[in-house]
Amino acid sequence: MKVMKMSEMKGGWFTGDFEPTAFRTKDFEVCYKVHAKGEQWPKHYHKEATEINYLIRGRMRIGETELEQGDIFVIEPNEVADPEFHEECELIVVKTPSVIGDKYEVD
């Protein structure tokens, strides 16, 4: 058995094709993330990856869509995400496939 600490991971990402990781795979990435209320997060998109998000706790907005606790939302490749966090938000994020550098910021 391999045991690791979340504090050893980078930005909450603990599975994917990167280091450090608890499980290395090119097939997908998994992250546990907490965003503070009002946290600034860059507007961005992925050219290859589809991002599946589960909003465990909190309220947020992406584009014109208001999201709340219990929502699952999928962001497709080339779809721009511009999140705004109305409350502290706790998310599980899965991206597939795991492609290093597949995040492009938009001005």
What is the average pLDDT across 61-74?
A: 97
Across the chain, the runs of DSSP E, i.e. the strands, are 13-15, 29-35, 44-45, 50-57, 59-62, 65-68, 72-75, 83-85, 89-96, 104-105
| Confidence class for position 107, pLDDT limits 50, 70, 90 | confident
Q: Is the pTM of this model over 0.75?
A: yes
What is the average pLDDT across 65-83?
A: 97
